[in-house]
Amino acid sequence: MNLAGTPPQRLSLMSVVGARPNFMKIAPFVRALNRHPGRFEHVLVHTGQHYDAAMSDSFFRDLAIPSPDVHLEIGSGTHAAQVGRTMIAFETVVRDRRPDWVVVVGDVNATCACSITAKKEGVKLAHIESGLRSFDLSMPEEINRMVTDRLSDLLFTTDEIADANLRAEGVAEARIRRVGNVMIDTMERQRATAAALDPRRLCETHALEPGSPPPPPLADGAFAVLTLHRPSNVDDPAVLRALVELFASEIAARLPLIWPVHPRTRKQLEALGLWQRARDARNLILTEPLGYDEMLRLTLGARVMLTDSGGLQEECCVAGTPCLTLRWNTERPVTLKEHGGASVLVGNDPVRIREAFRAALAEPRSAHRPPLWDGRAAERIVAAFLEMTG
């Protein structure tokens, strides 16, 4: 009962996930909703943009996300095909179930497609991880972020730079809620489970080439980790060739380099004849895409991270792992050294990467936790929805 003596209203929420980086963001939100039985009716929709066991199922299992109530089975395709198919399928789901709110996370194609559909159906929209801007419209994610934020009624942000970006775009103050970072909720929840894993063992379990020689001992601080999947790094043959050469001949020669290979990167390596070069390089340890806990284990123990992933930039910041961000810009400036973080932008220029790698080896670890990155962001988001139920 509320003060007026009437029972609280039940709010119906429909949340959406589509691709790997969404899963660790939705997990804490679903868990926080479930702490308020009777207050919410919740439907989880998986668009199916990522569908492999290693890209999707393992995350549901590791993070104890309930099975989706609706699966749209969109699969791979061009951006227009993915967004178009998602909109058509999601429209039917929204019409059938008429939720009070659609809740989207992050910046993948599913985020943008379901935002447009929800608004056109007259359903209120909330965006978790709002306000991030790289100001680089050649990134599909930047377009997804801008469209989603422009349409959102409630914008949950991670830091004050995101708030400022939204204000500069004219978003009304009342719609912006700074809640912290749901990615870090998941990181803190899984930290102990991850820490118990053995890096060498997980590399063996997920080796890409059966029969490849066992990895060397991988003590904490004695290995580096690499992830690569952005079109800007893997789609241009000259860029990818130069990167592989640098990783194979120089970086891995200095420190064992663990590389969980994203499916789109693997395809490109094979198409360009670079697969063999990578596979045969000494101390370059190729694995399948890893599960959440496994990847977190490597992030916590790595001497250096080399990555074009936004999520890993944030996790490295909190873990204190020096992070060479293989991009020319970032929508997450709060993770950069100039803001106290652990990340430096090195683009895909071998000279800069080489120099930054050497510098990182000489540096002590330095962890940085921006305000509200405390493991309780999802609680704050759910509190905002609880307020609406009276």
Return the range that interacts with ligand UD1 (CB under 6 A); candidates 169-177, 183-191, 258-266, 275-283.
258-266
Site string for ligand UD1, 17-46 (x = CB under 6 A): --xxx-------------------------
Identify whether 50 is a catalytic site residue: no
Tokens of 66: 């309930």
How many residues line the site for ligand UD1 (CB under 6 A)?
19
C-alpha neighbours within 13 Å on the C-beta side of residue 120: 11
Residues 68-107 that bind ligand UD1 (CB under 6 A): 76
Return the range that interacts with ligand UD1 (CB under 6 A); candidates 32-40, 49-57, 248-256, 270-278.
49-57
Q: How far apart (Å, rounded) are the C-alpha atoms in residues 24 and 53?
A: 15
Long-range contacts of 148-152 (CB under 8 A, 24+ apart): 148/104, 148/107, 148/111, 148/112, 148/115, 151/115, 151/116, 151/118, 151/119, 151/125, 152/115, 152/125, 152/126, 152/127
Site string for ligand UD1, 113-152 (x = CB under 6 A): ---------------------------xx-----------
Q: How far is the CB of 109 from ligand UD1 (least distance, A)?
A: 4
Q: How far is the CB of 198 from ligand UD1 (least distance, A)?
A: 25
Taking the least distance from each CB to ligand UD1, the nearer of 83 and 284 is 83
> Of 97, 175, 177, 264, which one interacts with ligand UD1 (CB under 6 A)?
264
Return the range that interacts with ligand UD1 (CB under 6 A); candidates 170-178, 257-265, 298-306, 378-386.
257-265
Please, which residues have CB within 8 angstroms of residue 390's CB and are 6 or more apart in sequence? 2, 4, 6, 8, 9
* Residue ranges with strand state E in the chain: 11-17, 40-46, 70-71, 101-105, 124-130, 154-157, 176-178, 224-227, 257-260, 284-287, 304-307, 323-325, 343-345
> Of 2, 9, 35, 52, which one interacts with ligand UD1 (CB under 6 A)?
52
Residue of 42, 229, 262, 368 marked catalytic? 229
Q: How far apart (Å, rounded) are the C-alpha atoms in residues 153 and 114?
A: 14
Q: Are the beta carbons of 220 and 301 closer than 8 angstroms?
A: yes
| Residues marked as catalytic | 229
User: Which positions touch ligand UD1 (CB under 6 A)?
Assistant: 19-21, 49-52, 55-56, 76, 108-109, 140-141, 229, 262-264, 267
